[in-house]
Amino acid sequence: MSDYAKGLEGVIANESALSRVEGLAGKLSYLGYDIDDLVEHCCFGEVTYLLLKGRLPNSKELENFQRKLHQNRSLPPQVVDFIKAAPHDASPMDVLRTGVSMLGLYDKRAKIGEPDHDELYEAAISIIARIPVIVAYFHRARMGLELLPVRTDLSEAAHLLYMLNGEEPTEAAVKTLDIAYTMHADHGMNASTFSARVTVATLSDIYSGMTSAIGTLKGPLHGGANEGVIHMLEKIGSEDKVDAYVEDCLANKKKIMGIGHRVYKVLDPRAPHLKKMALELTEELGEPKWINMSNRIAEIMLERKGLNANVDFYSATVYYSLGIPTDLFTPIFAIARASGWAAQILEQLRDNRLYRPLTKYVGPQELMPVPPLNER
Ligand SMILES: CC(C)(COP(=O)(O)OP(=O)(O)OC[C@H]1O[C@@H](n2cnc3c(N)ncnc32)[C@H](O)[C@@H]1OP(=O)(O)O)[C@@H](O)C(=O)NCCC(=O)NCCS
């Protein structure tokens, strides 16, 4: 057995009661509630409460919690100015990363050192509430559109769609996005969550933890894969070209975005929900091409490599069908995962220990004298 695990595969880095990812069974649950059950019976607000508080809210608690979230939506004017001034061709994830980091400048709760848990919880709520507003404002600013005042009467999913498009979304669109949020809320020790926990474990502040997480999510091997799926489908272009494209990727060892998972060795339990929503939406729009292409890619990859579609594979078609611009797919993942990051940060700091793994040294074994500069 190797004395180190490349990419920390199989390494248990901490304890968490938040989400249980069962890779061999293909199951996911949050605090003992199966994701299928949560999707059917709870809204994203309830799931966020569950993650942050460790139990499901009753209706009064949910109402108060959502009121608090909604009242925290306004951004400091300096952050709005930054968003307006950001280059219009900037990546929305870069704007989000900088925007969240900047929020910390205007929040006295962004403190280093031993945490005040109540203050930390309040700061967490305010970050979760503001992330969607940064995303929507940047999108409107780059399109030359007016930045709409935040509203307090809309759910998380409805508010994002309203803030992006400037009109009340349909119930179906809100429900779809709400389910997508629930499914992306938390997922064990994924790379961005790990980043968040490593950062706050130094007793740095929560804004630094969330900023680290956003920077980590952006990569195409993690949250960026959902955008990669649409780029791939666009590049393939039509159903008859799918087989040749996939075969070419396999022959040249190129990764197919949205396929494969480090932990799930069977179907990602989130994928069927997203597939169902993608099917319904594309049927409604009368544009089955994307879903047909996706299905064929998934079929070939399962046959040829034994690899399954992951959460990003069908979420791409869902967001696309909702009319969301492709480069906002990963920010939407961040909006949903912010609840998990925040809960994981709170959990880390309730029983903290600095992360400090070792490295397997593979450099020169014998020490050498440093040669003078003019002799090298
Ligand atoms: C998610 C991911 C990074 C997991 O990576 P991992 O656990 O390190 O898996 P590995 O890279 O070791 O893959 C094992 C084998 O499957 C292949 N493989 C894994 N994912 C693949 C993909 N998406 N397309 C093609 N081949 C893939 C690898 O090339 C490797 O093949 P080999 O044994 O012939 O060399 C990887 O599957 C991937 O890059 N997927 C695409 C990006 C994506 O969708 N990310 C979102 C994850 S939720």
* pLDDT value of residue 168: 94
In terms of domains, do 239 and 277 share one? yes
Q: How far is the CA of 42 from the centre of ligand 1 (A)?
A: 32
Domain for residue 165, yes or no?
yes
* pLDDT value of residue 284: 84
Q: CB 226: neighbour CB atoms within 10 A?
A: 28
* pLDDT value of residue 2: 67
Q: Which of 300, 321, 342 is the last residue of a domain?
A: 321
DSSP-derived letter for residue 169 is P
* pLDDT value of residue 71: 97
* pLDDT value of residue 30: 98
* pLDDT value of residue 158: 97
Q: Which helix (H) or strand (E) holds 27?
A: strand 27-30
Provide the number of structural domains found in the chain: 2
C-beta of 304 in contact with ligand 1 (< 6 A): no
Domain for residue 1, yes or no?
no
C-beta of 266 in contact with ligand 1 (< 6 A): no
In terms of domains, do 267 and 306 share one? yes
Take atom 9 of ligand 1 and give the residue whose Cα is closest.
262
Q: Taking the alpha carbons of 267, 269, 275, 276 in that order, is the dihedral positive or negative?
A: positive
Using alpha carbons, select from 85, 101, 100 the residue that is nearest to residue 135: 100
> Domain residues for 143?
32-219+326-350
In terms of domains, do 100 and 189 share one? yes
Q: Could you tell me the CATH number of the domain that includes residue 314? A: 1.10.230.10
C-beta of 256 in contact with ligand 1 (< 6 A): yes
In terms of domains, do 212 and 229 share one? no
Identify the residue whose tokens are 């949050």: 30
Burial of 355 (0-12, 13-18, 19+ CB in 10 A): middle
In terms of domains, do 186 and 315 share one? no
Q: How far is the CA of 255 from the centre of ligand 1 (A)?
A: 6
Burial of 371 (0-12, 13-18, 19+ CB in 10 A): exposed
pTM, rounded to two decimals: 0.93
**Spans of the chain, pLDDT less than 50:** none
Give the position, in ligand 1's atom list, of the atom nearest the Cα of 260.
37
d(CA 329, CA 319): 7
